[in-house]
Structures are given as structure tokens and as C-alpha cells.
């Protein structure tokens, strides 16, 4: 139920869009800067993977704990809390790169990612738009922030990585007023199963499992772009500003992928899952083998970004459509947990493989293929 708001749907779209845009700008700056700060601080390539993966630990835990909270607090609570947490994460790492600060910053970032993306998905699907329309608009707005953030990170980070992180913290703070003015929706009200009926866990329902597999592929693509992709590109001789621009290119393509999600969805769950997975994982794998060529890197990053944008829109859409209104929050959180698991496994796997393989590019390609491609092979089902 909608209790109060700041104006009609147009104003709410503006407030939600502002919140999402500023958060994604701040987060995408941090995602580019974190592995670069780690490398500049003297951490090994293997250590970078483990440090980045720590964010996925709290992301998984936070998503798993969202179910009870959804029944007790308004959905916009998650957005406001996430903004405060990402602000603290960027501020900490901007002031110190000591190991314990680095780990704490990453743990906070994981909480922020879990609460914000699940919370914003829940918030927009409870509005008047259809699920695919609302999520497409959200992902286009999110993609715009992810387009600008890496460029800012590259330009500012070329002079000072710490200054860029402090600016990212300030951008998160700027989003607070809009988030606080969003429409307040009631917590989810869940009905009880009838006598003798055994309730099936939301995360095991076929449509949610299908969405989860798409989330695994999306998580594989995203975790590579925020962990080892900047290192693969700098190792190939590209400068930090160029890395920022290339990361923004991938996010621009993801924005395009989100904008065409509706017609792709009409092809059916199976076809859309296969197409988006092959684009995302095939493209990001190819980047690892052509990293020295700026034009080929740009081409394959664009291809992978289109697939990543499709996955990031179609997965939550399927999760929300697979259950009744009272379970939408839990289904979106469950699908997001699959994604968070991939975001833990992928950088950890790459970090382990760089100890035995000759290059980080080869390790990245192997993990992307093993973890990200199965979604195209599994028989997906959904409404």
C-alpha cells in the first residue's frame, strides 16, 4: 500500500531516478577504483581477487536476511541505508588503504549493493508501471550512472585515487534527500498457507530458479568488470583514464541492453536467457584474449555490456513475475542472492588461478566460461 509520497508518478520517477543515478555513479566509481587502489598499495594480483570478493560475502548475507526485514520496514528504508553505507565505504578507503580498512570498506560495499539494488527493484515494481517497464527504466537510469562514474574515476583517479574515492562518497551523500522523499510503501504482507499445505520456499520456485541462473551470469559479467578487468587492461598497457572510458563503454552498452529488454523478453524465457548469456559471457571472455588492442577491447566490451544489461533487467523481471505480489520482494532478493554468490566465486576463482596460470587474462577467461555459461545450457522455466 502507498502511504504517502511527494507528488504524482512523474515526480516519483524523478526522485527515484535521481537516487538511483547518484548511487550508481558513486558505486561505479568505487568499483573501478578499488582494484586500482589495491594494486597501487602493493597487493598481489591474487590478493586483489580475495579483497574484492569480500564484498560479496556481506552481499550474500545481507540479501539472505532481507526477508524478515521486508515484513517490518518500508522498502525505501533499504535505499536510505544503502546510501549511508556506500558513503562510509568510500570515505574509509579514501582516507586509508591499510588492510583492515580495505576489508571493512569492501564488506560495507557488499551490504550497500545488496540493500540498494534489491530495495530499488522492490520499490519500482510496486509502482504503476509493469515490472519489465519499471525495471528497464531503473536499469537505464542505473546504467547512466555507471556510464559517468568510471569516467569520473579515471579522470580524477589519474591524479589521485584517494581524492576520487572521497568524491564518490560525496555523490552518495547528495542522493540522501531524494531517497528520503520517495513514496513510502508498506512492508510486504504475507499470507499463511492453508491447513495441510506445505509452502514451497520462494528461492526454489521454478521461475525464481530460472531468474537465479540468469543472475549467476549477470554476476559473473559484473564481477569481472569491477575486479580484474581494470587490471587486465592496465597490464596490457592502457592508462587509468582509458580504463575508465572502456569501463564506461561497457556500461553504456548495458544501458542499451536494458532499454531493449522488453522486445527480447517477448522471445520467451529460454531464448532471452541464452542470447543474453552468450553475449555477456562470450564478450567478456574475448576481451581477455584481445586486451592489447584498444578497438577490439571496445568492440567486445560493448557486446558483453549489451548482454549484461539484458541479464540485469530480465532476471529480476522474471523473478517478480514468477510469484504473487506478497512474495515479490523475497523472489527478487533470492534471485539477487544467486548473483551475489557468483560475485563471490568469480574473483576468488580468478585470484586462485593466477597463482598457477601465466596471465591474469587467461585466468579471467577460464572462470568466466566455467561460471557464467551454464545458464545458457540449463533448461530454464518461468511464467
Q: pLDDT tens across 192-203, in order?
A: 555 444 556 666
What digits encode the pLDDT tens for the residues 212-223? Answer: 888 888 888 888
User: Which of 5-9, 103-107, 236-240, 330-334 is most confident?
Assistant: 103-107
Q: What percent of the chain has pLDDT over 90?
A: 16
Would you state the pLDDT for residue 6?
46
| Mean of all residue pLDDT scores within the chain | 81
With cut-offs at 50, 70 and 90, classify the pLDDT of residue 319: confident
Fold (topology level) of 2-186+201-377? Growth Hormone; Chain: A; (1.20.1250)
Secondary element (H or E) of residue 185: strand 184-185
Q: What CA–CA distance (Å, rounded) separates 231 from 340? A: 21
What digits encode the pLDDT tens for the residues 23-80? Answer: 999 998 998 888 888 888 888 777 877 787 788 788 888 877 777 777 777 878 889 9
What digits encode the pLDDT tens for the residues 98-146? Answer: 888 989 999 999 899 888 888 887 777 776 666 667 777 777 788 788 7
- Residue 187 vs residue 210, higher pLDDT: 210
Give the mean model confidence (pLDDT) for residues 361-376.
80
Which parts of the chain fold into alpha helices (H)?
9-40, 45-64, 66-70, 76-95, 99-125, 131-157, 161-174, 176-180, 206-226, 229-235, 240-259, 261-265, 269-289, 294-321, 328-353, 360-372, 374-377
| pLDDT tops 80 at residue 190 | no
Length of the chain in terms of residues written: 383
- Residue 205 vs residue 115, higher pLDDT: 115
Q: What CA–CA distance (Å, rounded) separates 351 from 60? A: 19
| pLDDT tops 50 at residue 155 | yes
Would you state the pLDDT for residue 21?
92
Sorted by where each begins, the domain ranges of the chain are 2-186+201-377
What digits encode the pLDDT tens for the residues 354-364? Answer: 888 877 788 88
Residue linked to cell 574515476: 153
Tell me the Ramachandran region of residue 44: left when phi exceeds 0, alpha when psi lies from -120 to 50, beta otherwise.
beta
- Residue 65 vs residue 95, higher pLDDT: 95
Would you state the pLDDT for residue 114?
85
What digits encode the pLDDT tens for the residues 233-260? Answer: 888 888 878 888 888 888 888 888 888 8
Would you state the pLDDT for residue 3?
44
Amino acid at each position: 500500500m502507498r502511504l504517502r509520497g511527494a507528488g504524482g508518478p512523474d515526480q516519483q520517477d524523478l526522485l527515484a531516478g535521481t537516487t538511483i543515478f547518484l548511487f550508481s555513479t558513486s558505486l561505479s566509481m568505487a568499483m573501478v577504483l578499488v582494484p586500482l587502489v589495491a594494486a597501487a598499495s602493493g597487493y598481489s594480483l591474487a590478493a586483489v581477487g580475495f579483497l574484492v570478493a569480500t564484498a560479496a560475502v556481506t552481499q550474500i548475507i545481507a540479501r539472505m536476511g532481507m526477508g524478515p526485514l521486508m515484513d517490518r520496514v518500508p522498502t525505501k528504508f533499504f535505499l536510505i541505508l544503502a546510501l549511508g553505507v556506500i558513503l562510509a565505504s568510500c570515505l574509509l578507503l579514501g582516507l586509508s588503504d591499510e588492510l583492515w580498512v580495505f576489508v571493512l570498506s569492501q564488506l560495507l560495499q557488499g551490504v550497500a549493493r545488496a540493500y540498494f539494488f534489491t530495495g530499488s527493484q522492490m520499490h519500482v515494481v510496486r509502482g504503476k508501471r509493469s515490472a519489465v517497464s519499471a525495471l528497464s527504466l531503473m536499469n537505464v537510469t542505473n546504467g547512466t550512472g555507471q556510464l559517468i562514474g568510471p569516467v569520473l574515476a579515471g579522470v580524477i583517479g589519474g591524479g589521485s585515487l584517494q581524492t576520487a574515492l572521497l568524491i564518490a562518497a560525496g555523490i552518495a551523500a547528495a542522493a540522501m534527500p531524494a531517497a528520503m522523499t520517495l513514496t513510502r510503501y508498506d512492508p510486504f504482507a504475507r499470507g499463511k498457507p492453508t491447513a495441510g499445505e506445505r509452502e514451497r520456499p520462494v528461492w526454489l520456485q521454478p521461475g525464481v530458479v530460472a531468474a537465479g541462473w540468469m543472475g549467476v551470469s549477470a554476476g559473473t559479467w559484473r564481477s569481472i568488470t569491477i575486479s580484474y578487468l581494470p587490471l587486465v587492461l592496465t597490464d596490457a598497457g592502457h592508462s587509468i583514464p582509458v580504463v575508465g572510458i572502456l569501463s564506461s563503454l561497457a556500461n553504456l552498452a548495458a544501458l542499451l541492453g536494458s532499454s531493449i529488454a522488453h522486445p527480447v523478453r517477448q522471445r520467451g524465457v529460454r531464448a532471452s536467457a541464452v542470447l543474453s548469456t552468450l553475449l555477456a559471457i562470450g564478450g567478456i571472455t574475448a576481451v581477455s584474449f584481445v586486451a592489447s588492442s584498444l578497438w577490439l577491447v571496445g568492440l567486445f566490451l560493448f557486446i558483453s555490456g549489451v548482454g549484461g544489461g539484458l541479464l540485469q533487467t530480465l532476471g529480476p523481471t522474471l523473478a517478480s513475475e514468477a510469484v504473487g505480489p506478497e512474495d515479490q520482494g523475497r523472489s527478487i532478493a533470492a534471485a539477487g542472492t544467486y548473483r551475489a554468490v557468483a560475485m563471490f566465486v568469480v574473483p576468488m576463482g580468478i585470484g586462485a588461478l593466477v597463482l598457477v596460470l601465466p596471465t591474469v587474462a587467461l585466468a579471467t577467461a577460464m572462470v568466466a566460461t566455467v561460471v557464467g555459461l551454464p545458464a545458457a545450457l540449463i533448461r530454464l522455466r518461468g511464467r
